[in-house]
Amino acid sequence: MPRTLAAALATGLMLSASSGVPALAQDNPGQQDTDPAQGTIITTGDLGLGESTTFLGRTTKVPFSIMVPPGTTPEALTGTFQLPVDFSGGVIELYSGERLLTSLPLEVQDNLAAVEIPLDGVPVEEGRADFTLRAVMDVVGDQWCREIPELTFLDGAVRYSGQSIKPTVVADFLPPVLRTLSLYIPVQPSEAVQQATLEVATSLASVYRASGVEVRVVGLPEGSAQPSAPARSGERQIVLTDTGIAGIELINPGQQNVYLRINGRDEQVADQARLLTDSLLPLAADQQVTGAGFGAVPGVSTDMATLTELGNYNLSSESVGGTAVRVGIERSRFRPVIESADIHLTGSYTPLPDANNGQISVRVGDTVLDYFTVDDSGEIDRKFTLPGELADRYTELVVEYRTTGVLTCGDTQPVGLTINGDSLITTQHTDVPILSGFRSLPQIFQPTVDVAMTQGDVSDVSRAVSLLTGVQSLSTTRVRPQVVTWEEAATSTRPTVFIDAEGERARELPRYLSEAGTTLTVATRDGSGVAADELTQEEKDRARQLTTTANLPAGGLEVVWDAEAGRMIMVASSNRNSRQLDGVIRWLDEDNTRWAGLNGDVLIQVVDRTPVELEVAGRPATSNTATTWVAVAVAAVVIAVVVSVTLLVSQRSRRSRQSQRGQGSLGSRRAGRPGRG
């Protein structure tokens, strides 16, 4: 998946931001481990850096943060740079901090350049190697450059020397890179084990979010309290029970079949589970430890944050004729539910010579939020509002600097744009979500979400783990589940995930779908869900309906606004065919990007066909702020076009008058201003 500069930083920091132990190197030697450095190569995707990385502009820096498995050393970063037609070649520089380690010319063939960048000089600290790549590109001839040329790094992989080792103490159980986490629980787990399993699954899914760990729930064989088979390559195994003394024990330390056992009664089990991502874990340098007093993880959402606090670090760019800085905003970093956000943007830009004019605009997608004509000050100090309907799960603010005048690639000095990291975002909130359905996730389930299951067996817990880790994959901010009874959840006002695999009790809940015989009804009440038994005849007559000749097996997920309780709920159910619900969950698990692609209200599978997404609900009633801002955005675009034309006419007129006076180029009249070279 391509990543912008802001996203690259966010993913690079993901693993180290957690207080969990993946960033801690092991001190005690154990048996050599074949995971996951076997073959000494780990792809950038498995390292949480994405499948590709984009370098925007002619000269760009992109930071990288790679995890280093204990016992190994990063030797080289390999991959291929894909060049746009604007570039004939260039140089890639490797920096550690401010120190230049190496410089490599790109050998281009068919717009591709394979590279092998040595990393042996990059220091490794706390299981992580941080470095920066700087691309300095050569422009083809005197042709006009594309507005923002994109150099793309593809097929990245890190080659390591040495082999990782198996853990010998609890503190070292979690490796820097993890592909599979297997959780072994009794077939009929207690509520305490259910809670601990969800706690472990979501917390570690958050720690390893950037690389996308697979979390499996496996039933323990009758009378057994250990995994049925040794861990596979890239796998860690944890057994959770409530039959003994509270604590965490590393079984078979340093061996190929090493695993972790978490035990305790009632709340003790969850307490041990929370230790795995607590800042005290690096101190657990023993084979058996006991945790207590951790409780629930406090919420970290806020009403205001700087761009740096949101993970934006690379906020400078330069190029010829224009450039842009992209700012990433993750909605879940703020307190639910956002109605709008006030943004105070500060920064600087390169002033232009008198022969040129320019404009800086701020947009989300095609919607312009703010713009202004540049002057001699070179300073940015702007305040504007981001409306709630544009504050999606992830929002990218594009700050773009565009100039006019006679400019040529390779001859004209580039212009620069810098946004200050202390630029502030302040959010305003509402009780009714502006975004409905899957688009409201994960923020609507944060900081905590209740989980209610009809059966509560290992299969239900497995479904809950898949759903909650899927939601967790959408955010760096923790989703903290709380297991409750169905009766408590049905009358609650808290957001809840309901799991009713056989569809026995889902009719009691507000939903968009209902079934009677062979007829499927899709209905809402003022944009919210309604229980099947409460649908009036008039509502049924207005609703969309589909009748089949036979009762088709179906199952799926609904994210429903429960207007009466003032909460969002997720209902996972079927028409008495759990296999169909499991098919939907399995389809989501097959590709960790599918959760991010959901934008509707319902995901349903009929028979064994590919699940279908439906948009059912109208947006919950809100103020007219959204409509107002759409009008403002349209007006801003129109004005921006007029201003651009005016700037161009003014520039041409001024140049004409200067030419008549016999003046030469104005590029050299003011020190520090870009001019034609």
Query: What are 206-218's pLDDT values in tens digits?
Result: 999 888 899 999 9
Checking if the pLDDT of 330 tops 80, the result is: yes
Kindly state the percentage of the chain with pLDDT values over 70.
81
- The domain made up of 304-429 has a fold known as Jelly Rolls (2.60.120)
φ, ψ for residue 84 (rounded to 5)? Answer: -70, 170
pLDDT of residue 410: 55
Q: Give the pLDDT mean for 658-665.
A: 37
Q: Give the pLDDT mean for 365-390.
A: 96
Write down the architecture of domain 40-162 according to CATH.
Sandwich (2.60)
pLDDT of residue 145: 54
Choose from 23-27, 28-32, 382-386 the range with maximum mean pLDDT: 382-386
Q: Which residue has the tokens 């991502």?
A: 277
Kindly state the percentage of the chain with pLDDT values over 90.
52
What are the angstrom distances between the C-alpha of 231 and each of 3, 164, 198, 252, 449?
32, 15, 21, 12, 31
Checking if the pLDDT of 170 tops 90, the result is: yes
Q: Decide the pairing of beta strands 448-453 and 367-373.
A: unpaired
pLDDT band with cut points at 50, 70 and 90 for residue 269: confident
pLDDT band with cut points at 50, 70 and 90 for residue 401: very high
**97: Cβ–Cβ under 8 A, 6 or more apart, which residues?**
none
pLDDT band with cut points at 50, 70 and 90 for residue 102: very high
Q: Which two tokens stand for residue 104?
A: 């490599």
Give the DSSP H/E element, type plus range, for residue 53.
Answer: strand 52-56
Checking if the pLDDT of 5 tops 70, the result is: no
Checking if the pLDDT of 1 tops 60, the result is: no
pLDDT tens-digit map of 572-610: 999 889 999 999 999 999 988 899 999 999 999 998 899
Checking if the pLDDT of 322 tops 60, the result is: yes
Q: Tell me if 40-162 shares its fold with 304-429.
A: yes
For 170-289, which CATH class?
A: alpha beta
What are the extents of the domains in the chain? 40-162, 170-289, 304-429, 437-614
Mean of pLDDT over the chain: 82
pLDDT of residue 219: 96
State the amino acid at position 155 in one-letter form.
Answer: D
pLDDT of residue 409: 55
Q: What angle do CA 443, 445, 449 make, to 5 degrees?
A: 160
The reported pTM is: 0.78
**216: Cβ–Cβ under 8 A, 6 or more apart, which residues?**
180, 181, 182, 183, 462
Alpha helices in 391-542 (DSSP H): 458-472, 486-490, 537-542
pLDDT tens-digit map of 482-510: 999 999 999 999 999 999 999 999 989 99
pLDDT of residue 298: 62
pLDDT of residue 435: 86
Give the DSSP H/E element, type plus range, for residue 239.
Answer: strand 235-240
pLDDT tens-digit map of 103-159: 999 999 999 999 999 999 999 998 899 999 999 988 776 555 555 678 999 999 999
Checking if the pLDDT of 397 tops 80, the result is: yes
Q: Give the pLDDT mean for 529-538.
A: 74
pLDDT of residue 667: 31
pLDDT of residue 673: 33
Checking if the pLDDT of 518 tops 70, the result is: yes
pLDDT of residue 78: 97
Checking if the pLDDT of 68 tops 60, the result is: yes
pLDDT of residue 28: 43
Q: Which residue has the higher pLDDT, 242 or 652?
A: 242
> Which range (148-152, 386-390, 535-539, 577-581) has the least confidence?
535-539
463 alpha-carbon distance from chain centroid: 22
CA distance 647 to 38: 60
